[in-house]
Structure formats: structure tokens, C-alpha cells
Amino acid sequence: MAVKDYLRERFFPHMWCPGCGHGIVLNSLLRAVEALGIDKNDIVMTSGIGCSARISGYVDFHSLHTLHGRALAFATGVKLSKPLLNLLVPMGDGDALAIGGNHFIHAARRNIDITAIVMNNRIYGMTGGQFSPLSGCGKKATTAPYLTIDQEFDVVKLATAAGASFVARSTTYHAVESTEYLKKAIMHKGFSVVEILSQCPTHYGRKNKEGDAPDMLELYKTSTAKLNSKALEKNPDRIPRGIFVDEQRGEYCEEYDNLVARVAGGAK
């Protein structure tokens, strides 16, 4: 299948603002699926509410556009009932780590075979530009006219501490790299988290003087560096990109089936 075969072209043009990075994330994801040759009938995408969640409307997969913050909960139900399906869960700041934070850490703890894509634009874009758990200190938002004082979550550290067995980070500037990480995440047996820094020029960039979309993409180029690279060694303040965790551990659906088999066999 070609990339266009995975799209619901009748729903284009998309609703994202000009310069939004989420279309680049969609591109990287579809190219990953295409490269893996996965039949679209073997994929289920669940999403919640927000700019990122609209992805589920543009892909020609089985899809669920669900409640805010509950995308992983719905994905868990689908995976337990149909464990052979590939579950893709694109989420924004809120769906993943605010209202959806509890689902995130427990999905990671269980190591259920789901690919969680955290589209980190550091803002609540769809509802007017409120600050999010990923905004960080000293940022301007509609709910922080005098700058934020909240520390941000580090998605990589949080996912790792919660038990995710695959954790990676990239940016929309590094679209080809993002595709490679998404391919690895989808093929990984266990809970996979891929954080992709995605620009929001309409709200975050404009309010925080980071310029338009090209300026923000350039910033992703200059403010990040590959994990274990000389660039990161020389500039430790840069945001590291790469694969941080890639471990093989017992997957939840398989462990559940093993439990059922033991009980059915008379084990206690």
C-alpha cells in the first residue's frame, strides 16, 4: 500500500493551523506504517480530544475518537479483546499527561503492547492557548499572562520511570528520524512511547516570541542533539533526541493469557 491508501482524503484539507507540526507527525507515522507494510485492517487508532486527536479522522484505519484523556483506556480495551491488532494512540499534552496522566503511567506499568505518540507542542492549542504540563517555567499563555511558574514533565523520564519498555524522542524538524523511531516503536512488543516535539506557531510560538513555523523548526534543529553525540556533550543544555529505552519484558496481554491457561489447568 502507498501512503495515500492509508488516508481518508475526503476529509482534507485538514483543520490544523498553517505551520502546525501535527501534519508532519501524521506524515512520519504514515510513512512508518507504509514501510512496515501493515495492512490497514490490522491497525486501530484511538484518540481523545484536542488538535492532535484529529489525526484519527484523517487515517483510513479502524479508529475511535474518544473522550478527553481516555485514549489509552479505550486502546487498552481494544488490545485486550483483539490482541493481534496494532494499537496506535496519538495524544497531545492534555490527553497524555494532564487529564490522561493516570492512564499513561498505568499503561506503561502494565507494559501493554500499545504505541503511544506524544505530540508535544507545549500548549493547549485547540482551546485557545492555555499552558499545559509540558509548557515549563517562564512561558506565556492565555492562562499565564505573567508567565508560568509550573515545572514541566519530562516525557522521556516519566515514561521510563513508569515502566515503558520502549521510549524515544524526536522533533518535526527530524521527520525522517521520527519515522524510524515510530517503526521501531510499532514493532516493539510492549508499551512504546515516542515523544515528538511539534511546533504551534499560532499560540505557543506567537506568545513566546519563537517566531513562525520555519523559525520554530530551526529552533528544534539547534536546541536538540542526538543522544550520546559530541554535540550533546559540548552543549549539555540541548534537548536529547534518540531511543532512551528498548527492553524486552513480559507483555501484558501475553501474561494475561498465561494466567488464564494456568488457572484453566488447575494451577493456583
Confidence of residue 3 (pLDDT cuts 50, 70, 90): confident
Domain of residue 16, CATH code: 3.40.50.970
Q: What is the pLDDT of residues 135-173, one digit of tens each?
A: 999 999 999 999 999 999 999 999 999 999 999 999 999
* pLDDT, mean of residues 2-27: 92
DSSP code per residue over 223-254: HEEETT-HHHHH-TTSEEEEEEEE-----HHH
- Around Cβ 205, how many Cβ atoms within 10 Å? 21
Q: Decide if pLDDT at 1 tops 90.
A: no
Q: What is the pLDDT of residues 162-218, one digit of tens each?
A: 999 999 999 999 999 999 999 999 999 999 999 999 999 999 999 999 999 999 999
The answer to whether the pTM exceeds 0.85 is yes
pLDDT at 267: 67
Residue with cell 512561558: 139
| Structural domain total, the chain | 1
Q: Please say whether the beta carbons of 244 and 232 come within 8 A.
A: no
Which residues are CB-neighbours of 191 under 8 A, at least 6 positions away? 107, 108, 110, 111, 112, 113, 114, 116, 163, 164, 165, 166
Q: Please say whether the beta carbons of 152 and 133 come within 8 A.
A: yes
Confidence of residue 4 (pLDDT cuts 50, 70, 90): confident
pLDDT at 2: 83
Distance of alpha carbon 99 from alpha carbon 153, whole angstroms: 14
* pLDDT, mean of residues 68-85: 96
Which domain does 26 fall in, by range? 3-264
How far from 165 is each of 103, 112, 247, CA to CA, in Å? 16, 10, 5
* pLDDT, mean of residues 61-84: 95
